Copies of this chain bind each other. A is one copy, B any other.
Amino acid sequence: MRIGIDLGGTSVAAGLVDDAYKVLFRTSGKTAGCKTEHELFVVINKCVYDLLEKSGVSIDDIKSIGIGCPGSTDAVRGVVNVADNLPLLNTPVVKILNDEFKKPVLIDNDANCAAWGEYKTGIAKYHENMVMITIGTGIGGGIIINGKLIPGKENHAGEIGHMVVDIHGKRCACGRIGCWETIASTRALIDKVKSETEHVPFTILGNVVSENNGIVNGKTLFTAMKRGCKISKSIFSDYIELLAVGVMNIIEIFRPDMIVLGGGISREGDTLINPLREYIGETSTRIETSSLDDNAGIIGAALLHLK
């Protein structure tokens, strides 16, 4: 058995993964409040110890630990160079976890772990050329060619969210203009919903926001759509076009066997994927949503030794 850890800016999840690549037990902790490296590793370590306690499995029976991290991650040196929203800066994550648990530890970035999980045991199984697109605050990518993750120099391949698609668009946090994630990330969609409800507050969409104490999240638009909100359907239709631009670019560049969409929004399943497929039209690349959902990152991290 192996442990996979999926580290994010708001929470961390750990899972016990068996030899059939299934998650047997799962725990999680909050990382949002962590201000120092030390605080963060207290949370991560507790998550792992909770997992062992909950499952009744001894650390002696764990073969290895894998961790997927956001930000710029150096898989070879075992270091997170820098990560937004987390107190990690040139942090030797592998060494720290190895010192604590005395187990082999492997690391990669979160999108690569999600891609690896989907390829080894999820929807992309047997699809040796696939691209995982993780949609969240930003857009990340994990690229598998001939059954291998492509790391790129300094493990920096797959920054597909920073592919410019709108040269006259908005400035991205990275400094470039019109990156795909400025228009097609969940954050971009939420911003659009927010500005729309400010302009036209007395709509079904506005009611949904009010019911949620004025908070707009990734589910707001979909809830309003289910209640028949026309404005929401129009916003979503525009969003699909912006999402499609990047997906079609990935198809032109790689013509992969499969593209898998992950991240919270992928849980919308057919609501998301059907209009996307329809907009893109006929293509030899299959387009799917994640089949492992929250567990893709955990499983992928636990299976990093198979890279």
Please, which residues of chain B bring their CB within 8 A of the CB of A150?
129, 145-146, 254
Please, which residues of chain B bring their CB within 8 A of the CB of A285?
153
Contact A284/B249 with A165-B167, A166-B168 known, Cβ cut-off 8 Å:
no
With the chains together, A153 CA to B286 CA distance in Å? 11
Contact yes or no, A153 B256, CB < 8 A: yes
A252 within 8 A of B: yes
1/0 per residue A223-260: CB within 8 Å of B?
00000000000000000001001001100111111000
Taking a contact as CB atoms closer than 8 A, the residue among B154, B167, B248, B249 that contacts A245 in the complex is B167
A270 within 8 A of B: no
A4 within 8 A of B: no
Please, which residues of chain B bring their CB within 8 A of the CB of A171?
none
CB distance from A285 to the nearest CB of B (A): 7
A157 within 8 A of B: yes
Contact A245/B164 with A157-B253, A157-B254, A255-B159 known, Cβ cut-off 8 Å:
yes
Contact yes or no, B166 A253, CB < 8 A: no
1/0 per residue A6-34: CB within 8 Å of B?
00000000000000000000000000000
1/0 per residue A270-295: CB within 8 Å of B?
00000000000000110000000000
Contact A153/B257 with A146-B146, A166-B166, A168-B168 known, Cβ cut-off 8 Å:
yes
Closest to A241 in B: B167
Contact A160/B252 with A150-B129, A150-B145, A166-B167 known, Cβ cut-off 8 Å:
yes
Contact yes or no, A154 B255, CB < 8 A: yes
Interface residue SS majority, chain A = loop
Please, which residues of chain B bring their CB within 8 A of the CB of A169?
167
Taking a contact as CB atoms closer than 8 A, the residue among B158, B163, B242, B255 that contacts A249 in the complex is B163
Contact yes or no, B249 A164, CB < 8 A: yes
A56 within 8 A of B: no
CB distance from A150 to the nearest CB of B (A): 6
A219 within 8 A of B: no
Contact yes or no, A255 B166, CB < 8 A: no
A141 within 8 A of B: yes
With the chains together, A156 CA to B250 CA distance in Å? 12
A120 within 8 A of B: no
Contact yes or no, B248 A164, CB < 8 A: yes
Please, which residues of chain B bring their CB within 8 A of the CB of A159?
252-253, 255
Besides A146-B148, A159-B253, 12 other CB < 8 A contacts? Answer: A143-B253, A145-B146, A152-B256, A153-B285, A154-B284, A156-B284, A157-B255, A159-B255, A160-B252, A163-B163, A164-B249, A167-B169
Ordered by A's residue number, 24 sampled pairs between the chains whose C-beta atoms are within 8 Å are A129-B152, A129-B153, A145-B145, A145-B150, A150-B254, A153-B256, A156-B284, A157-B253, A157-B254, A159-B253, A160-B252, A160-B253, A162-B252, A163-B252, A163-B253, A164-B165, A164-B248, A164-B249, A165-B165, A165-B166, A165-B167, A166-B166, A166-B168, A168-B168
